[in-house]
Chains A and B, each alone.
Chain A
Amino acid sequence: MIVIAIVGAAFVLLPLVAMTTRVNWGGFLALVTSESSVAALVLSLRTSIAATVLCVLFGVPMALMLARTTFAGQRIVRTIVLLPLVLPPVIGGIALLAAFGRQGLLGRPLELLGISVAFSTVAVVIAQTFVALPFLVLSLEGALRLAGTRYEAVAATLGARPTTVLRRITLPLVLPALLSGTVLSFARALGEFGATLTFAGSLQGVTRTLPLEIYLQRETNPDAAVALSLVLVVVSLVVVALTLRTAPGARARFAA
């Protein structure tokens, strides 16, 4: 058992460690601070934050609906909402094109109104939100179910109105899960590649996020691609560490 676990861990760790051996440390700073690299990093952070805000805005009500109410077709709705989690991102991109593209279902009427989503930073945020939303819904819905409705029921019998219950009881109870879900969605948005490439295009400062920049740099400047990859690995590590820090707190709270 232990040996297999070690082999498994090594399997994950080895490629990442191997990558650090390819880093050109001498030129590292110059490589990651080049104009195009900085533009990509700034764009990635901007769009990922915007996508995360959208995820919280839409995801919290969605998780509440899924966890606290019952309605016809709920199982189907949950399945569809979580679909982007397992879908290859390229397919997400093709689907988004069909909806928001210039010839798309929603895109065409929007185009007539003078609103063009295609090739804009908005398209990047849409793609990122599409793939990141399930992470927030999934972790929050799970926490809501685990927390149960006991405290909410007590608060309601004591005269608290539904909004007060939500604000004072429900959300504080699942706050750690909300935080870890938010961090996970942010991480997923930051790493988004396939849907962005298919749906938004690739232009420096507008739609070329860090993963797209890495993919492009690989063609001519592998050193820069490796250096930027390392930056993204470090950011991801911090994100995962943050999530793990909040997760045990969540369990402690439920136990209380």
Chain B
Amino acid sequence: MKKWLLATLAVGTLLAVAGCSAAAPTPSASPTKDSLSGSITVFAAASLTKTFGTLVTKFEAEHPGVTVVTSFAGSADLVAQITAGAPADVFASADTKNMAKVSTLVGTPVNFATNVLEIAVPPSNPARIATFADLAKPGVKTVICAPAVPCGAAAAALETAAGVTLTPVSEENAVTDVLGKVSSGEADAGLVYVTDVRGAGPAVKGITFPESGAAVNTYPIATVKASANGKVAKAFVDYVIGKVGRSVLAAAGFGAP
């Protein structure tokens, strides 16, 4: 009897712990000016962390009855989670390819931003990089993303466009890892997004190059069909593609779709 009780308790604890991560905070039922209320969960690409953080704060201020929970990760990870039934109401991907993978689970996606690659170098620019071709010079330690991830696919497209073959010393899994290798001075140069350079502040120096237009990443956003609060989800998507969203994204370096 006692054994069973303990076992039940153990299983119960496990379930409770598992439940915690899934449970979204319930907003206090306060009177609202508009008809929107409740909570939504926004899944967004890691490169949107800063801008979407700002947008969520603004959105919540305009709609006091609404709580927005955010989850930032690589687009491919988010796709895997949504496919597995994660409770997302809105999905913003860093590329159209990943959005296409969940096309049956989401509403019609709207492109809301673009991003291009830029060369990031340590502030002192030790390898004196000035052009895209400089990245392939012997002795230059260049770091890019692996071709399997969106920023690596973009880098490969640039190589083709520029007719330059890079021999990187490392192919990282995420653009943030590339940025880290550059800002720490490990690498002489890296290919990251314009927005990453701007977000890193004085830690890295950005070098633009004319070939960058050959690989433009388009960011689509969509509501998730299974959303329990489709009205708020739709409102948030409209907010991101609207005037406020546009200006916040532009300030971070994102281009217009």
- Choose from A3, A103, A202, A217 the contact partner of B170 (Cβ within 8 Å): A202
B4 lies within 8 A of A103 (CB): no
The CA of A216 and the CA of B149, in the complex, are separated in Å by 8
B186 lies within 8 A of A118 (CB): yes
B141 CB, nearest partner CB in chain A, Å: 7
A197 lies within 8 A of B173 (CB): yes
B172 lies within 8 A of A202 (CB): yes
Contact residues, A160-205 vs B (CB, 8 A): 197-198, 200-204
Instruction: Enumerate chain A residues within 8 angstroms of B185, measured Cβ to Cβ.
Output: 101-103
Q: Does chain A have a CB within 8 A of B10?
A: yes
A213 CB, nearest partner CB in chain B, Å: 10
Q: Report the interface size for chain A: residues with CB under 8 A from the other chain.
A: 29
Residue ID in chain A nearest B74 by CB atoms: A219
Instruction: Enumerate chain A residues within 8 angstroms of B15, measured Cβ to Cβ.
Output: none
Q: Report the interface size for chain B: residues with CB under 8 A from the other chain.
A: 28
Contact residues, B166-220 vs A (CB, 8 A): 168-173, 177, 180-181, 184-187
* Chain A interface, DSSP helix/strand/loop, else mixed: helix
Q: Does chain B have a CB within 8 A of A129?
A: no
A99 CB, nearest partner CB in chain B, Å: 13
- Known A3-B3, A4-B6, A207-B170; judge A216-B141 contact (CB<8 A): no
The CA of A118 and the CA of B171, in the complex, are separated in Å by 14
Instruction: Enumerate chain B residues within 8 angstroms of A197, measured Cβ to Cβ.
Output: 173, 177
Interface string of B143-166 (1 = CB under 8 A from A): 100101100000000000000000
Q: Does chain B have a CB within 8 A of A220?
A: yes
B173 lies within 8 A of A219 (CB): yes
The CA of A207 and the CA of B186, in the complex, are separated in Å by 15
Interface centre among B11, B14, B180, B186 (most CB of A within 10 A): B186
Q: Does chain B have a CB within 8 A of A2?
A: yes
Interface centre among B4, B141, B143, B173 (most CB of A within 10 A): B173
The CA of A201 and the CA of B184, in the complex, are separated in Å by 13
A227 CB, nearest partner CB in chain B, Å: 16
- Choose from B7, B14, B141, B180 the contact partner of A118 (Cβ within 8 Å): B141
- Known A201-B172, A207-B170, A216-B148; judge A119-B184 contact (CB<8 A): no
- Known A2-B3, A197-B177; judge A97-B186 contact (CB<8 A): yes
B11 lies within 8 A of A7 (CB): yes
Q: Does chain B have a CB within 8 A of A252?
A: no
Residue ID in chain B nearest A208 by CB atoms: B171
A201 lies within 8 A of B169 (CB): yes
Interface string of A1-37 (1 = CB under 8 A from B): 1111001000100000000000000000000000000
Instruction: Enumerate chain A residues within 8 angstroms of B180, measured Cβ to Cβ.
Output: 198
Q: Does chain B have a CB within 8 A of A215?
A: yes
Instruction: Enumerate chain A residues within 8 angstroms of B11, measured Cβ to Cβ.
Output: 7
A196 CB, nearest partner CB in chain B, Å: 11
Q: Does chain A have a CB within 8 A of B76?
A: yes
A119 lies within 8 A of B170 (CB): yes
Instruction: Enumerate chain B residues within 8 angstroms of A215, measured Cβ to Cβ.
Output: 173
Instruction: Enumerate chain A residues within 8 angstroms of B6, measured Cβ to Cβ.
Output: 3-4
B173 lies within 8 A of A216 (CB): yes
- In order of increasing CB-CB distance, the 8 nearest A-B pairs are A201-B170, A119-B169, A103-B185, A3-B7, A220-B148, A219-B148, A219-B76, A3-B3
Chain A residues in the interface with B (C-beta under 8 A)? 1-4, 7, 11, 97, 101-103, 118-119, 197-198, 200-204, 207-208, 212, 215-220, 222
20 example contacts (A-B, Cβ-Cβ < 8 A) are as follows A3-B6, A3-B7, A7-B7, A7-B10, A101-B185, A102-B185, A103-B185, A119-B141, A197-B173, A198-B180, A200-B170, A201-B181, A201-B186, A202-B146, A202-B170, A202-B173, A208-B171, A219-B74, A219-B146, A219-B149
Chain B residues in the interface with A (C-beta under 8 A)? 3-4, 6-7, 10-11, 14, 74, 76, 80, 141, 143, 146, 148-149, 168-173, 177, 180-181, 184-187
